[in-house]
Amino acid sequence: MADGRNLLVIMSDEHNPKVAGYAGHPVVATPNLDRLAARGTRFDAAYTPSPICVPARGAFATGQPVHRSRCWDNAIAYDGRMPSWHKALRDRGHHVASIGKLHYEGHADQDYGLSEMILPMQITGGTGDVTLLIRDPEDVREGAARKLLAQSGPGESEYTIYDRKVAAAAQVWLRESAPKHTDKPWVLFVSMVAPHFPLTAPPEHYYRYAGQALPRPKLWDAPLEERLPHPWLRNYGRRSDHYQHFRGDADLQRALAGYLGLTSFMDENVGKILAALEEAGFADDTRVIYTSDHGDNLGVRGLWGKVTMYEESARVPLLMAGPDVPAGATCGTPVTLCDVSATILDAVGASDAIADLGLPGTSLLSLAGEAAQDRLALSEMHTYCPGGVFMLRTLRHKYIHYVGGPPQLFDLETDPEELHDLAGDPAHATLLARMEARLRGMLDPETVDAEAVSDQAHKIAEHGGKERIQQRERMAYTPPPAG
């Protein structure tokens, strides 16, 4: 159990964990995250519970994996009925404030257990992207890549304007509201959208990278069978419309500059929030966590956005600093955002709530500074595919189980870029069987997949059926709140 301190949690959206100075990226500038990493601990085997926004955030809120939260896709969001870390803390007398993106259901009469919600960004209209309820492989999101290309470049978007407001509100809260809540440790959750697409970056950040010969994504020029060696991946690539239209060098460099620019823009806002924490006099008594809801493929294998179980998409950046956190340390133990949920409770002195809520997570405070443990990290995907996908990460290996399809197996120690699938190698048959058994020891993939399909079928019926949903305009991304 940790000594209770205040806690500042900063979450970005769609931050590829490799795109940070502290992670060794050769170009991107992230000085504020670099300083946070230097004075704290990096968790280099941290994963999202699901590589898509709403399920990841539902799992983070509840501290439960997706098959328990049942937030399967971007149309089935957290509705406040399942216990959450924020409600547990509010019930124990802690002040819990959120500023920015939540991606919950968002109806006005719902209680999410937060003491206050400032500038909350929820799923659109309380329904989200209902087109993702439909998992049929023939359904193609035509024009997605063209839209991504058209919005890549210098400028301001709804999201950059929103993030500036979120960062400003966080600074005001730390200076004016935090001093009013000193009876018990408080939690401030700040959630920004960058570097999520559209890849429109403020000019001062975009032009830092535009014109440079930015590193080409892995397998960008490879043949289709090498880029997307699995049938599920080829289906996703076709549905997401990426590799048909997004191949030219000029397109590539513009999109990369936009993403790197947004990452530096996000880092700048992180710096402003941390400076306000210091100026308000809370830095010495506040732990800080930085993470993201999921990553971004960022052109690797010709794919953009998230959804896949490769490292670029399923792994997340995770930093923790402050009292009792080892400085300049790296932890290689596999963890997920569900462990961050447990950490939040522990960090403010409410570790009893971890057991009370039945959370499967472990506090990062107990893992930081310790030798890497062979622990299991689970991620799930229940949209963009006819069958569910389950990823299990151990200390050394990654196993990906596709319901109705062949598995994948990678040795991340010898093959960190995931170029050599070992699943079909007879020499690894025993390991493959062992990994599947470990997954089935946690859940039954076919049963979970059937539950997801059933819940999605009920939602499809609520919205008038498949044909009516397919007539809707597809959502490129969730708009920020007005005002």
Note the pLDDT of residue 21.
99
Between 339 and 482, name the one with better pLDDT. Answer: 339
Give kind and range of the element (H or E) at residue 116. Answer: strand 116-121
Convert the pLDDT of each residue in 359-391 to its tens digit: 999 999 999 989 999 999 999 999 988 899 999
Q: Are 41 and 330 spatial neighbours (Cβ–Cβ below 8 Å)? A: yes
Note the pLDDT of residue 243.
52
Q: Which of 114, 134, 298 is nearest to 219 (CA)?
A: 298
Note the pLDDT of residue 143.
59
For residue 149, pLDDT beyond 80:
no
Q: Rounded to an integer, what distance in angstroms lies between the CA atom of residue 12 and that of residue 27? A: 20
Q: Rounded to an integer, what distance in angstroms lies between the CA atom of residue 299 and that of residue 243? A: 9
Note the pLDDT of residue 236.
85
Question: What are the structure tokens assigned to 416, written together?
Answer: 């960190």
CATH number of the domain that residue 150 is part of: 3.40.720.10
Q: ∠ CA 197-200-206 to the nearest 5 degrees?
A: 125
Note the pLDDT of residue 140.
55
The answer as to whether 422 is a domain residue is: no
Place of tokens 């063209």: 146
Give the DSSP letter of residue 127. T
Confidence of residue 249 (pLDDT cuts 50, 70, 90): confident
Note the pLDDT of residue 476.
67
Confidence of residue 417 (pLDDT cuts 50, 70, 90): very high
The answer as to whether 459 is a domain residue is: no
For residue 242, pLDDT beyond 60:
no
For residue 139, pLDDT beyond 80:
no
Comparing 150-154, 158-162, 203-207, 373-377, the range with the smallest average pLDDT is 150-154
Note the pLDDT of residue 470.
82
Question: Is the whole-model pTM more than 0.85?
Answer: yes
96 φ/ψ angles, rounded to the nearest 5 degrees: -125, 110
Strands 96-101 and 46-47, sheet pairing: unpaired
For residue 137, pLDDT beyond 80:
no
For residue 146, pLDDT beyond 90:
no
Convert the pLDDT of each residue in 309-330 to its tens digit: 999 999 999 999 999 999 999 9
The answer as to whether 417 is a domain residue is: no
Confidence of residue 399 (pLDDT cuts 50, 70, 90): very high
Q: What range defines the domain where residue 281 resides?
A: 6-379
Note the pLDDT of residue 235.
84
Average pLDDT over residues 203-223: 94
Comparing 72-76, 105-109, 339-343, 372-376, the range with the smallest average pLDDT is 105-109
Note the pLDDT of residue 285.
97
H, E, C per residue of 162-173 = HHHHHHHHHHHH
| Total of domains in the chain | 1
The answer as to whether 439 is a domain residue is: no
For residue 222, pLDDT beyond 60:
yes
Convert the pLDDT of each residue in 334-355 to its tens digit: 999 999 999 999 999 999 999 9
To the nearest whole number, what is the mean pLDDT of the chain?
A: 94
For residue 28, pLDDT beyond 80:
yes
Alpha helices in 310-379 (DSSP H): 311-314, 337-347, 352-356, 364-367
Average pLDDT over residues 356-361: 97
Confidence of residue 109 (pLDDT cuts 50, 70, 90): confident
What is residue 448's three-state secondary structure?
helix
For residue 172, pLDDT beyond 80:
yes
Note the pLDDT of residue 13.
98
For residue 117, pLDDT beyond 60:
yes
Q: Tell me the angle at which helices 158-172 and 249-279 cross, rounded to the nearest 10 degrees.
A: 10
Q: Rounded to an integer, what distance in angstroms lies between the CA atom of residue 334 and that of residue 395? A: 6
For residue 181, pLDDT beyond 70:
yes
Residue type, 265: F
Q: ∠ CA 157-130-142 to the nearest 5 degrees?
A: 65
The answer as to whether 448 is a domain residue is: no
Exposure string over 306-315, b if 16+ CB within 10 A, otherwise e: bbbbbbbbbb
For residue 464, pLDDT beyond 90:
yes
The answer as to whether 255 is a domain residue is: yes
Going from the C-alpha of 109 to that of each of 112, 148, 171, 340, the distances in angstroms are 10, 35, 28, 28
Between 220 and 161, name the one with better pLDDT. Answer: 161
For residue 142, pLDDT beyond 80:
no
